[in-house]
Amino acid sequence: MDKILWILLISFPGSQASRTLVPKNAEFVVDLYQAICSSHTSNIVFSPFGTTVLLSMVQLGAKGRAQQQIRETLRLQETSNGEEFSVLKSFISAILEKKQEFTFNLASALYLQEGFSVKETYLHDNKEFFQSSTNLVDFLDAKACAEKISTWVENKTDGKIKNMFSGEEFGPLTRLVLVNAIYFKGDWKQKFRKEDTKLMDFTKKDGSRVKVPMMKSVLRTKYGYFSEPSIKCQVLELPYKGDDFSLIVILPEEDVSIEDLEKLITAQHILRWFSEMHEQEVEVSLPRFKIQQKLDFKEAFHSLNITEIFSGGCDLSGITDSSDVYVSQVMQKVFFEINEDGGEVASSSGMNIPVIMSLTQTQFTATHPFLFIMKNNPTESLLFMGRVMNPDSQAVKGRDLDSL
């Protein structure tokens, strides 16, 4: 049987073309996050937009039940008539054109087995919507393929993602590899001074404590405290320079377990918190953290009822006339780092105030597990989502995967 090996790396969500898909996409994001959480107990990071792009690429060539399952999971309307592809295309085009305040590298590529026939229409549309390139390789030379693709990924992510493949992932039945890589680096709008970073105790889920570098600053930024049955949390926004992107930190009250928050949180909660935060002066204590993670989404997709694309005989006739093509793996590897770097001293009030000068009554002290979301502000699209259970853990291992 022919196999398709679908691979996804770092990625982003959103679109300048329309905001109408944001609430539905947020529902998919939360569903996927909860599915991932069910099989992981440590730090987590993934790219919701990356998975949206990935599934859209599959949907572009899927028919029948395979296509329907993807559309239902992404909450797409039956009458959208490809609008979702135009939305993604518009976002990608707009973000690549506006790079003055941040670094954004996006690259998608199809790696095809020599002699393997893919429909010209699919190749054209893939390039049109996702700016994907096409490369011919011989997967029988697994080591050479792994080195070639891994080098491409490393180059496109400014060296942050290394050794994506070892060669063991490829075999005589591998016919097509889809790689989508995105790298983002932005400066804080209001920076943390490195001299203010101090070692502090961080209380892990089990009650044990670990010393971590805690960044400190007094910032004028959006903040909210939300209290409702079973959900009590502080929400803080840390904008990047240029205001196109923000990191949102969701810190549950100490008497609310992060597992309970994750089970109860909904897309409606998240979007409402975004809209109801208000700007004020906040004394912020946030740990530096770095997460590298490699995830296999197959199990999570199964729990979301995306099963057909993994079955032999599924209809991917929009990609190829072969009846024995199906998806064998769905992988994502992410490097995500938060530190003091970024943010030149700005002229507006409240920026770069030494902590010792703080007279504020509002404190945001992240000394226990929290969630984080990186979003594109013009569209409110969710780019990255994850949780920090232990900032001292520099890398986490995806279930059933080799360590990074």
Phi, psi of 166, deg, nearest 5: -105, -15
- The pair of structure tokens assigned to 236 is 């803080």
Question: Coil, strand, or helix at residue 220?
Answer: strand
Give the model's pLDDT for residue 276. 95
Amino acid type, 212:
V
- For residue 119, the surrounding DSSP H or E stretch is none
- The pair of structure tokens assigned to 183 is 């790298």
Give the model's pLDDT for residue 398. 39
| pTM for the full predicted model | 0.85
Domain 3-186+291-336 shares a fold with domain 194-288+347-388: no
| Cβ(234)–Cβ(225) below 8 Å | yes
Give the model's pLDDT for residue 261. 93
Of the candidates 151, 142, 198, the one whose C-alpha atom is nearest the C-alpha of residue 173 is 142
Give the model's pLDDT for residue 76. 80
CATH for 3-186+291-336 is 3.30.497.10
CATH superfamily placement of domain 194-288+347-388: Alpha-1-antitrypsin, domain 1 (2.30.39.10)
CA 372 to the chain's CA centroid: 11
Give the model's pLDDT for residue 295. 81
User: Using CB atoms within 10 A of its CB, is residue 90 exposed (0-12), middle (13-18) or buried (19+)?
Assistant: middle
The strands making up 102-113's β-sheet, listed across from edge to edge, are 132-137, 102-113, 174-186, 3-8, 327-338, 289-296
Spell out the domain ranges in the chain. Answer: 3-186+291-336, 194-288+347-388
Ranges of residues in the chain whose predicted pLDDT is under 50: 1-6, 8-18, 342-358, 395-404
Give the model's pLDDT for residue 351. 34
Distance CA 171, CA 169 (A): 7
pLDDT in tens, 334-366: 888 888 874 322 222 233 334 444 455 799 999
Task: List the alpha helices (DSSP H) in 258-350.
Answer: 258-264, 267-276, 298-303
Give the model's pLDDT for residue 328. 75
